Amino acid sequence: MVASNAIVLSPLVSVNNIQLHFESVPGFLRRQALALAAPGVFKSLSACDHVAATFGAGLGYACVVDVGDQKTSVSCVEDAISHPATRVCM
């Protein structure tokens, strides 16, 4: 069996105008368990979607604008940290 790795991306969720990376701790743990339960997956990494977009572009810092179907969110990321004061969901 070939060893594989998994990356679990979590969207920025807005609950009562408070923006969170994970809906709940049990939901987060359930997604991690699902990733690790897949055949051949031995390691798992969790990342916020804005941080993953910055890494994917090969940048150390960026202002990420996510234009989605139902919402648009903006977040400034620096050194793999999505700063809470810069997150805006519209």
pLDDT digits (tens, 9 = 90+) for 40-88: 777 777 777 888 888 888 888 999 888 888 878 888 989 888 887 888 8
pLDDT band, residue 29 (cuts 50/70/90):
confident
> What per-residue confidence (pLDDT) applies to 15?
54
CA dist list (Å): 26 to 33, 46, 55, 66? 10, 14, 26, 26
Alpha-carbon torsion angle 13, 84, 77, 33, nearest 10:
-40
- SS3 for 38? coil
- The answer, as to whether pTM is greater than 0.85, is no
The maximal CA–CA distance of the chain, rounded, in angstroms, is 45
Select, from the ranges 28-32, 34-38, 41-45, 69-73, the one with the highest average predicted confidence (pLDDT): 69-73
Tokens representing 79 are 């050194």
Q: H or E segment at 28?
A: helix 25-37
